[in-house]
Amino acid sequence: MIPTVVISNNINNVNSNCFKTIFINGITICYNAQFEKEYYIFENSDYQLFAHVNIGFKNTLSQFTNDNFSKKDIEELQKKMKWGFIIIISKNSGSFSIHNDIYGIYPIYYSNAGKDFIFSNDCDYLIRIQNSKKIDIRGVYDFILFNYTLNNRTIFKNISQLKGGSVINSNPNPSSISITKINDIAELLNQKERHKLDIDNLNLALISCLTDDIDSKLPIELTLSGGFDSKVILSLLLNQKLDFASFTYGLNGSVDYIAAQSTAKQFSIPHRLVELKSFSLDEMDDQIKSFIKCTPCLPLLTDLLSYELIKSNIPKSNILTGFMGGELINGPVVVSEVMLTRSAKTLINANDISILKTNLIFDLQSNPFISSKNYTSNAEYHIEGLGNYLNDSKDSNHKNLINFLLNETYAKFFGVVFKNLYGNYNMINPFLDINFLSQLLNSEYRFTQFTSFSKNPLSHFQSRRLYPKMIKRLHEPVIYSPLDRNYVMADLLYLHRLPITLTRYFENHFFNKNKIHPSKALGSINRLKPLIREKLFNSPILEFEFIEKEKVKEVIGKLNSDIPVSDHNLRKLILLLGLHYLYEMYNINY
């Protein structure tokens, strides 16, 4: 269930029978009463404040609010919010302001027509009250090229998403609103002088983030994998002597699960596998609809649908994750089909809008199911507003890259996970602490001094060595626990062990010695093949002019005949499957 909050100046927009209601000077705040303890509600003689924020920030607010607090104070505090939003309503003037976290991970969607406006964290609710459910072709092209919509775009024409670090202000007697981005995260992190990194202080920032945000009433679950990032979170928990269990989601027999299982055994940690498995068509259909109901503007089914399994396998708890740690410590190393696509690289590296247009047209040609002719005619319209991510050759701090990683990849990709789980779990990601990031990105370990998307294993060697240096100070035995790549972190830390790391790197990348056994290869892509056959072949969305209908049917025909289809093409079909479900659930039109 979603902890729905709706804010509007038109009471007719809100079914107040389903919510508890606060009504002040023409502004209505309705919220799901089941989650009342998770909200922070405060008022004095001048202001009404309502917030849904991470636990650490909620405690900060409770200590901070008094008869003298102001909107300016909240704008300063906004920088420290891990996730969430705050609304302040003036009792005297009736004006209000809404502030969200600097990343934009907490979902705030809005729609306004004339003098009426409505904001909500529940996009499904907003969609269902719209008279027209037309898709925004710019959002669709974002989705096809990047796997998530960019800036304030969504898949829907009349619905926008609030950018991270923004404030919405109303005029007195609110009939109009203005939206301003007041906190640019790359600017916040940038310091004029570089400094030598103090690893103990860096670890303290992570520890503070972890301990401040834990809900003491809930158990702790660690998402344990064979990767670097989860080893850091494991070390933090062991350092603080906290009781916790762990889980790995994926495939039984995968190198990731084997490494995690061995690590859990080494430190006597309870561990379970949340396993991908075969489901009936009806079961998968229900899972997808539940997933999309939480995140209808970002229906990336291929890799994130697995998180639906957490709801049925993991009890309500604090869930600790190291998501995005690698991208922030090492920088974006390789182009992927998921988080940082070739088009993301194209956008970040382009230094001119005309070059961006040319290269995105070229990128789209790798998708056989989307009309190149249609995109070419819409390309200028699509790239409007993307200039904030162009590369400035004079900017040695690469602010465009940092903003893209944190406001797009983190907020939009991991945001899907957050939005699906935040009603049932307390999600904690210590790597996204502003103090940690500020120390890291202004030190000799900052990834911005290297070439992004470089496959050279030596280009990010110094950054990778930061992991074992941090872990050695936190809980040294962890550097000897197995990774998913047949070496341990100690091999990076000590020079005499470096040949082991290099040997394993070449074995894994060039001789396929670290691959899952074919009999275990039942991933999200294969799970969705039956639904592609069932739903997509005769889907009404194939009539949309930007889709190459006959090419889609040709490739689905190969699936029906058990003719091999590349993973790349399957992923592109699954993007279209997401659009099909939007049509089925909301009757979208083009």
Quote the CA–CA distance of 386 and 271 in Å, as a whole number.
43
- The model's pLDDT over 65-118, given as tens digits with 9 standing for 90+, comes to 665 666 677 777 888 899 999 999 888 887 889 999 999 999 899 987 667 889
Six-digit token string for 523: 């991933």
Q: What are phi and psi of 520, to 5 degrees?
A: -95, 0
Go through the domains of the chain in sequence order and give each one's CATH number. 5-132+159-183 (3.60.20.10), 188-350+391-518 (3.40.50.620), 523-586 (no CATH)
Q: How far does the chain reach from its first CA to its final CA, in angstroms?
A: 30
In which band, very low, low, confident or very high, does the pLDDT at 590 lie, cut at 50, 70 and 90? Answer: confident
- The model's pLDDT over 263-282, given as tens digits with 9 standing for 90+, comes to 999 999 999 998 877 677 88
Question: Residues 6 or more apart from 58 whose CB is under 8 A from it?
Answer: 40, 51
- The model's pLDDT over 185-221, given as tens digits with 9 standing for 90+, comes to 999 888 777 789 999 999 999 999 999 999 999 999 9
Quote the CA–CA distance of 468 and 123 in Å, as a whole number.
41
With contact defined as beta carbons under 8 Å apart, do 252 and 520 qualify? yes
Describe the strand order of the beta sheet including 116-120 as a list of residue ranges. Answer: 20-24, 27-31, 5-8, 116-120, 109-113, 160-161
- pLDDT at residue number 464: 84
- pLDDT at residue number 456: 64
Q: To 5 degrees, how large is the angle CA 102–CA 107–CA 110?
A: 105
pTM score, whole prediction? 0.92
- The model's pLDDT over 133-153, given as tens digits with 9 standing for 90+, comes to 899 999 999 999 999 999 999
- The model's pLDDT over 58-70, given as tens digits with 9 standing for 90+, comes to 988 887 766 566 6
- The listed range with the strongest mean pLDDT (123-132, 356-365, 566-575) is 356-365
Question: Residues 6 or more apart from 419 whose CB is under 8 A from it?
Answer: 2, 107, 294, 295
DSSP E strands, 313-375: 318-320
